[in-house]
């Protein structure tokens, strides 16, 4: 029994590693934008869910949580306007923790880093914790500093700004904060 479990774990590890490598080389069409940092993408028969790595966008209202965070809808609308129904490149950095189990990755459109664009537009803050190996967070930090200084997007709120993490803890306390920032 222990041997079977060990073999199963080894197979799953190899498959996950292979999937991440394959993901980096493929193009996907974005078929749904859930919020400012989570999307659904398809390529042939493959369907993946992607959390944009390195960023945390304001939360949007949904059926369960009627109250959305300021700039949540703007972040979602901007992201949809940029990538919905478009063919993009996805560079995977692994899998998000349970319960999401989404791919965490950078989405590129025509060479532009869409994750970084969200920060530049003041529609997402930089994720500072639990970053994957190989992700250079420096451009994100520079973009956030510039957006704050220019009071771009959500940074116009000044002292009234609440980070997505704080907002989730206050208004969605029954949901675990798995973004880790």
pLDDT tens for each residue of 172-181: 765 544 455 5
Of 64 and 92, which is predicted with more confidence?
92
The single residue listed with the structure tokens 């989404």 is: 102
Q: What is the average pLDDT across 103-124? A: 97
Q: Which residues contact 165 (CB under 8 A, 6 or more apart)?
A: 56, 177, 179, 181
pLDDT confidence of residue 173? 65
pLDDT tops 80 at residue 11 = no
Which pLDDT does position 14 carry in this prediction?
A: 38
Question: What per-residue confidence (pLDDT) applies to 151?
Answer: 98
Which one of 2.160.20.10, 2.60.40.10, 3.40.220.10, 2.40.50.90 gives the CATH number of domain 2-171?
2.40.50.90
Integer Cα distance of 158 and 67 in angstroms = 20
Q: Which residue has the higher pLDDT, 24 or 171?
A: 171
pLDDT above 50 for 68: yes
pLDDT score of 130: 87
Q: Which residues are CB-contacts of 82 (< 8 A; sequence separation ≥ 6)?
A: 109, 114, 117
- Give the residue extent of every domain in the chain: 2-171
164, two tokens: 């997505």
Quick one: pLDDT at residue 127? 95
Residues in the chain: 181
Over residues 120-152, the pLDDT tens digits come to 999 999 999 889 999 999 999 999 999 999 999
What token pair was written down for 89?
């490149």
pLDDT of residue 81: 98
Nearest-angstrom CA–CA distance, 172 and 162: 14
- CA 70 – CA 113 distance, rounded (Å): 24
Q: For residue 61, what pLDDT band results from cuts at 50, 70 and 90?
A: confident
């Amino acid at each position: 029994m222990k041997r079977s479990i060990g073999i199963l774990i080894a197979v799953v590890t190899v498959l996950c590693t292979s999937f991440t490598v394959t993901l980096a080389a493929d193009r996907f069409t974005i078929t749904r934008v859930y919020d400012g940092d989570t999307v659904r993408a398809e390529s042939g028969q493959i369907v993946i869910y992607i959390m944009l790595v390195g960023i945390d966008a304001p939360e949007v209202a949904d059926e369960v949580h009627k109250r959305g965070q300021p700039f949540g809808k703007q972040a979602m609308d901007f992201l949809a306007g940029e990538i919905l129904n478009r063919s993009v490149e996805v560079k995977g950095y692994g899998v998000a923790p349970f319960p999401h189990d989404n791919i965490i990755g950078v989405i590129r459109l025509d060479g532009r880093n869409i994750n970084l664009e969200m920060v530049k537009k003041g529609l997402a803050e930089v994720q500072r914790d639990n970053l994957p190996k190989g992700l250079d967070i420096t451009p994100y930090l520079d973009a956030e500093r510039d957006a704050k200084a220019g009071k771009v997007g959500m940074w116009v709120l000044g002292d009234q700004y609440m980070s997505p993490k704080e907002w989730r803890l206050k208004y969605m306390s029954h949901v675990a904060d798995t973004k880790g920032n």
